[in-house]
Structure 1
């Protein structure tokens, strides 16, 4: 009795597509700190808070932003990375300023 063995069929090996080595760098989004107008913070207090808690803030810029907050209802007082934005936002909130939620720039 002769047995018939199945013959192995040869197929081409599967070739994985070549991976690209190009790295796409995405930057982290910046966030805006927005102070809102209210009826209880004085110009002086808002200006002092901006000077105290926002790095690099000058007195002229703080005064202009305070005026913008009063006349336009809000002003973006700082834009930058989330971690710093959270810190400055918390500090301004604790100082009593009325703040909008952080939002992506």
Structure 2
């Protein structure tokens, strides 16, 4: 009689503890994998957007247009802006804006 009671309490323990614990672990695993896949997809989309933005910048020759506009400035102003790395910063800002623009399409 004691063995039968242990049998039923083991079955009850399995149904009451182990089955919900299994579904909880399975759901956590699925959510973790979906999150990792979403992050990986976002990284790949960012790489794609950067390559597209880089191609657009090369086609429009933005860096050369900025340099040609800088050549029109007086020499002392140009030297001050080069020392402050203004043109490098301007290039980075233009690249970021262009990459953000491309990311809207992806």
| Pairwise same-fold verdict (TM > 0.5) | no
Write 1 or 2 for the structure with the bigger share of helix.
2
Write 1 or 2 for the structure with the bigger share of strand.
1
TM-score (norm 1): 0.23
